[in-house]
Amino acid sequence: MDFLIEDKNTHLEHLEDDIINNGFDGGKNAIAFLESLKDMLAGNSTSKLNVTTKWDGAPAIVCGPSPENGKFFVGTKSVFNKTPKVNYTIQDIRNNHDGPVANILRECLQYLSGLGMKEVLQGDLMFTSSGKKTTTYKDGSGKSEVMISFQPNTIIYMVPENTPFGKKIQRSKLGIVFHTTYKGSSFDKMKAKFGANVSKLRRTPKVWFDDATYKDVSGNTLMTIGESQQLQKIINQANGSLGKSKEMLNKVKIEKNTLSVGVQLKTYLNSFIRAATDLPSTKETATNFKSYYAERTQKEIDGVKTDKAKQKYKTIQDNGIKFIDDHNDSIYMACATYKSLQRAKKVIIDKLNKAKSIGTFKRTDNGLQATNPEGYVAVDKKGKAVKLVDRLEFSIQNFTAAKNWEG
């Protein structure tokens, strides 16, 4: 199976987008992932599928022994820049960074250097010494509890203060969740492998760390036979419509031009997420793509001045609209596949969400409201991965959440 491959763990694609990125094979890959996840949640999986929780931390921290000299370093994803920003000392941080990121990296250098790391790992920073608050949370029944809270990005995490976990968080100066391991002889040659073995890291009261491996602490995530059968029906629907859009998907997957039909189809489908709304019916989704494409390309035509430039974009527009007209049925089937993959993914995410190990909340106008984790990453036995995120829920949070914790 060929899933998403990244040399550096800088970007993961959503499962359903694989039909646009990689055509028919991408759709088959997405379906294979869903089948494996279904089997895992049904308790009869024989394949090695690892699921990790996407913690909503920020920024991403890369650290460990340098592949070039063995010295401990810290950095952001900028360690993989063409000119790497690698920090071995406080002076390096001063030279490479400023503002809040510099302050964060100073603490990372101070505390993470004590973990005895033997590999280069990437993790999501959850809190620093100044990033934790003590707050009283009142649930829906009116019961109050003192909590330790931290908000690295959009989601607010809360742990009861008077528990072993809460006391551990309270003592810690820094918290991080590791999820990726890097290997290579230099920064520019490093390859990412999803997953991080933290069992051999040195435990210290100053750092709370964990890996991102999905942990079913509730025992409630196994699917019933009926639930598994319902999920299989959705997967079968995706598989059926995928076969009827194979030729069209394989044509658009190789297109890289911003105004190509393939790129614009992906942008069009993702525009509903950015607008925080569900996709309409399959018929409406497919039918409206033509007008979306025409309007988008018309903006380019109207945005240039010379006749030559206008004609260039008019030719692109005409060719694109002709392609859409010639492949109406296939575009309908591709949209049907996309929607079915989304539905199947949602069923799986809802099941996985039943086993949260830490409270997750969002700030609203009416106070704190319980919410789900950002999502999950599914990794197959070859180390390839796709992202499982309830994009509608999380995009709404990203657009509406107050990012700065107040008292």
Tens of pLDDT, residue by residue over 72-130, are 999 999 999 999 999 999 999 999 999 999 999 999 999 999 999 999 999 999 999 99
Taking each continuous run of H as one helix and of E as one strand, the counts in the chain are 12, 14
**Rg over CA atoms, the chain:** 23
Give the per-residue pLDDT at 175: 98
- Longest CA–CA span in the chain (Å) reads 72
Query: Which residues of the chain have a pLDDT value below 50?
Result: 1-7, 9-10, 399-407
CA atoms within 13 A on the CB side of 35: 13
Alpha-carbon distance 108 to 174, whole Å?
A: 8
Which helix (H) or strand (E) is 324 found in, with range? helix 307-326
The residue to which tokens 């995706």 are assigned: 238
Give the per-residue pLDDT at 47: 59
User: How many residues does this entry show for the chain?
Assistant: 407
Alpha-carbon distance 354 to 347, whole Å?
A: 12
Task: Decide the pairing of beta strands 359-364 and 367-370.
Answer: antiparallel
DSSP 246-301: HHHHHHHTT--STTSHHHHHHHHHHHHHHTT-----HHHHHHHHHHHHHHHHHHHH
pTM of the model: 0.79
Alpha-carbon distance 304 to 302, whole Å?
A: 6
Alpha-carbon distance 277 to 207, whole Å?
A: 40
The first and second tokens of residue 310, run together, are 């206008």
Alpha-carbon distance 389 to 346, whole Å?
A: 8
Give the per-residue pLDDT at 1: 24
A 10 A CB-CB count for 284 gives 11
Q: What share of the chain is helix, strand, coil (3-state, %, to 5)?
A: 45, 20, 35
**Average pLDDT along the chain:** 89
Give the per-residue pLDDT at 399: 45
Alpha-carbon distance 178 to 180, whole Å?
A: 6
Alpha-carbon distance 9 to 291, whole Å?
A: 36
Task: Decide the pairing of beta strands 174-183 and 207-211.
Answer: parallel
Are 192 and 9 in contact by the 8 Å Cβ rule? The answer is: yes
Give the per-residue pLDDT at 245: 98
